Amino acid sequence: MRSLPLLLCLGNFLFCAPVTELWSRGYSVIPTPQRVQLQDSDIALDGSWVIDPGALAPSHIAVRSLVRDAAEFHQLNLRVGTGPAVIRLRVAPGAVATGAEPSVDRQAYRLRISDRLVEITGNSDQGLFYGAQTLVQLIRRDPAGRLLLPKGTIEDWPRLALRFLHWDTKHHQDRPETLKRYLDWTARFKANMIAFELEDKFEYPSHPIIGAPGAFTTAELQELVNYGLERFIQIVPDVQAPAHMAYVLKHPEFAHLRADGNNYQSALCKPETYQLIFSMYDDVVKATQGVEYFFVSTDEVYYAGIESECSRPYNSVNRSLTWVEFVRKARDFLASRGRRILIWAEYPLLPEHVSLLPPDVIDGVIGEEEYLEAERKLGMRQLGYVSMQGSEYLFPDHLAMEDGAGRLAAAYEYLCRGRHWRGNPIGVFGAAWDDSGLHNETFWLGWSAVAQWGWNPCTVSPEQHAAEFMRLYYGPQATGMVEVYRTLQRQARAWQRSWERVVSRVRGPGYGNSYGKGLGTTRYDLTLDPPPLPALPDLKLGKRLSEKYAERFREAPSRRLENDRLLHALHENLGRAERNRYNLEVLLSLARFIGGHWRLLEAMAAADRALGQAEVAAAKNDPVRAVGHLVSAHNAITAARQENERVFAELVAVFEKSRFPKGRSVGGRKFVHVLDDTKDHWADRTPDMGFMMAPERSIGLDEWARALEKIIREYAAQHKVPVRGLASPRLEE
């Protein structure tokens, strides 16, 4: 790929990525193609252009997607037929010489653009489909309103065969139409694998109690799989086992399979555990026909073989061997059903036991550097793993900030030269964990980056990718969206820092982790103290909030002003965006939610001041002013709480446009909410979306307001002073 000498560099890394020639000419494609040869001129597209599908049926997905997206993105109505200007589609195996393995070679395509002819040639149907995606992305509108394409030739194929995006549904369930839209965008970014972490969002016909109320049925999941397969995307089921199994082991029916009594991990020395897990596998296999892979996961199996029924002593060697035994049995079971498995190869696996693994297993994470040599000898394949979201609240750390490079830069660095390149990589995995309950619309910048660098590593800097993503995802009329993301990220991290982190009042200590049972597992909650309540008869106060939270109170007004600018920018782009406006609705609801927190802090500061003024007025024997200040303190808190509950209800309504209600009841079945024994997920604290309001509600401001109202009325009665303008603290549930 030719490129201009202008470079965009990452400050903390050792190399720079060139600005691509397409981008320097005003054209954009995600992922950036492998070979681009451009001429100096452009061609114009208009209604005279037609599609010549050649031997392809007009219903071919490449034809249909080209027609649909040209109309939707560019208001260009293409028809199949004959005309003076032609977009010609064909499949010709070997047309693009890649020198790559077959799974990569069939994804290749060539795009030739000349004055009255555009040719898209794919090495297979899949390559042709990808060529159509590139063509639609390339089209741009000039200032005169003409639709343009650059004259030249593009030859393109992925560097790695499998490009996974991660759908984690631990704490939510997306609506089917939402997931189909996600598949459309996954296809546009040329990702071809979805790791669908189902947890309890599937019915499991063999054990219906496991599926949450309203979980996807076998037919519904297969319909979604078929939709993906038509777009050359495999929805690969990811069934968490034998650890992270609280969604199963919380039910009394399976309590006897808990390892060492905890609901985090199943007992691997009980044959019934294998029967349970493999029957769940079988259920999912039957609902994902046409898929070649299965994610066995093996994620964080901290205590393999710990239960008293095990014949071997519990130590590091036998823990590793028990883990290996599970992988081997899972591999054999799923191979008999035509599936190749992927695993997380990590603790408790010892490097000396890697050689015991089946060679056709794909290592999805490479937990230790020491695994690589044994994996090379076995001929095992690996994925380059990056996490685009882990434990951040409200919004991911996509972009570089004052305190770090951001997840995009880290993914760029790792997918360019991470440890998977020292093995035999077959693909990449872009994780987006649901631990903190983030909306999936906040993941798309990260997901698209993994698709970008899984297809063509070491090209396109994070800065260029972010700019290209904003143009593609929202349309070229959207403005300042990178800064919108940066501001929302800054607001989310400030929100997260502004709370006190206290030992949990909801959850006891966790069971343990890889360091050992009971170690490093203290759970924490976010909260603040309420303002002090004045004591009768003289309204004396204890320690003032202004002393404890001085820095928080000073910061709140500037954060609220920053939030106000963010709201204006989001509203402006809601009017300008040509697509994915719902995404902006989600971002707007999050910004409003965060803004309510700054208003609450300002209200708490105002209440604290008013209480101090009431104390002074009481000391001066001025009960009228004292009551007035008390009412002001009460009303400031009450108004902020009522507004924030309303804003939260609006956020829930926005989220539920694309999701089912969290923890819903369906058909008389109620969701069973039991906290995980080991993991500390923010979104796990409540069965519904109340976890987002849990920090604010934990302050106890509603109870504080009721207590203050009682004090106000008693003090006023003692001094025969009327109480005027006292707001009702009653809040809607």
pLDDT at 397: 97
Q: Give the pLDDT confidence score for residue 681 in this predicted structure.
A: 87
Q: Using the predicted structure, report yes or no on whether residue 23 has a pLDDT greater than 90.
A: yes
481's tokens: 């969206």
What is the mean pLDDT of the segment spanning 184-212? 98
Distance CA 149, CA 470 (A): 20
Q: How confident is the model at residue 7 (pLDDT cuts 50, 70, 90)?
A: very low
DSSP letter assigned to residue 620: T
What is the band of 513 on the pLDDT scale with cuts at 50, 70, 90?
A: confident
Q: What is the mean pLDDT of residues 496-502?
A: 96
Residue 5's pLDDT is 34
First to last CA, the chain: 59
Give the residue-averaged pLDDT of 473-499: 98
Reported as a pLDDT band with limits 50, 70 and 90, residue 521 is: confident
What percentage of the chain reaches a pLDDT higher than 90? 90
Q: What residues are paired with 293 via a beta bridge? A: 340
Spatial CA neighbour of 113 closest among 81, 67, 148, 64: 148
- Share of residues in the chain with pLDDT > 70 (%): 97
The pLDDT of 634-641, averaged and rounded, is 98
Query: What pTM value is reported for the model?
Result: 0.95
Mean pLDDT of the chain: 94
User: How much is the pLDDT for 476?
Assistant: 96
Mean pLDDT of 527-550: 95
Please check whether residue 690 is in contact with residue 733, taking contact to mean a CB–CB distance below 8 angstroms: no
Alpha helices per DSSP H over 139-237: 176-188, 218-230
In order of 70, 177, 187, 217, 577, the CA distances from 180 in angstroms are 19, 5, 11, 16, 21
The DSSP symbol for 486 reads: H
| Helix/strand/coil for 722 | coil
pLDDT for the residue 729:
65
Does 440 score more than 60 pLDDT? yes
- pLDDT tens track for 100-158: 999 999 999 999 999 999 999 999 999 999 999 999 999 999 999 999 999 999 999 99
Q: What pLDDT does 506 receive?
A: 80
Segment 216-229 mean pLDDT: 98
Is residue 728 very low, low, confident or very high in pLDDT (cuts 50, 70, 90)? Answer: confident
pLDDT mean over 219-223:
98
Type of residue found at 617: A
pLDDT above 60: residue 314: yes
pLDDT at 732 over 60: no
Q: What is the amino acid identity at position 45? A: L
Q: What is the 3-state secondary structure (H, E, C) of 278-347?
A: HHHHHHHHHCCCCCCEEEEECCCCCCCCCCCCCCCCCCHHHHHHHHHHHHHHHHHHHHCCCCEEEECCCC
Report the CATH number of the 21-156 domain: 3.30.379.10
Q: Is the pLDDT of residue 8 over 50?
A: no
Structure confidence by residue, pLDDT tens digits, 324-342: 999 999 999 999 999 999 9
475 in Cβ contact with 578 (< 8 Å): yes
Q: What is the pLDDT of residue 677?
A: 67
Q: Is there a contact between 580 and 473 (Cβ–Cβ < 8 Å)?
A: yes
Q: Is the pLDDT at 683 greater than 70, yes or no?
A: yes
CA distance 485 to 591: 11
Read off the tokens for 396.
């991911």
pLDDT confidence of residue 14: 41
> How many Cα atoms are found within 13 Å in the side-chain-facing hemisphere of 41?
4
Confirm if 576 and 479 have CB atoms less than 8 A apart: yes
Give residue 157's region: left, alpha or beta (phi > 0; psi -120 to 50).
Answer: beta
Of 130, 135, 211, 199, nearest in space to 167 by CA: 199
The dihedral sign for the CA sequence 37, 40, 45, 49: negative
pLDDT (tens digit, 9 = 90+) per residue, 562-618?
A: 999 999 999 999 999 999 999 999 999 999 999 999 999 999 999 999 999 999 999
- Look at 13 and 412; give whichever has higher pLDDT: 412
pLDDT at 733 over 50: no
Alpha-carbon distance 14 to 186, whole Å?
31
CATH 1.10.3720.10 at 162-462, yes or no: no
Average pLDDT over residues 338-350: 97
Question: How does 602-632 read in b/e, with b if 16+ C-beta sit within 10 Å?
Answer: bbbbbbbbbbbbbbebbeeebbeebbbbbbb
Distance (Å, whole) CA 327 – CA 323: 6
SS3 126: helix
CA distance 191 to 193: 6
Cis previous bond, 537, omega within 30: yes
Residues 6 or more apart whose Cβ sits within 8 Å of residue 155: 33, 34, 35, 96, 108, 109, 110, 111
Question: Distance (Å, rounded) from C-alpha 634 to C-alpha 628?
Answer: 10
Give the separation between CA 284 and CA 237, rounded to whole angstroms.
7
User: Mean per-residue pLDDT for 663-692?
Assistant: 89
List the domain boundaries for the chain: 21-156, 162-462, 496-500+535-666+674-718
DSSP track, 435-468: TT---GGGGHHHHHHHHHHHHSTT-S-HHHHHHH
101: enclosing H helix or E strand: none
| Token couple for 358 | 């089946």
On the question of pLDDT at 250 being above 70, the answer is yes
295 torsion bin: left (phi>0), alpha (psi -120 to 50), beta (else): beta
Q: How sure is the predictor about 2, in pLDDT bands with cuts at 50, 70 and 90?
A: very low
Cβ contacts of 348 within 8 Å, gap of 6 or more: 301, 302, 304, 316, 319, 320, 323, 514
In the numeric block, the tokens 């820095």 are attached to 551
Encoding tokens for residue 431?
Answer: 């994780």
How many of the other CB atoms lie within 10 Å of CB of 107? 26
Taking residues 626-637, what's their average pLDDT?
A: 98
Q: Which residue has the tokens 């002593």?
A: 313
Buried b (16+ CB within 10 A) or exposed e, 306-320: bbeebeeeeeeebbb
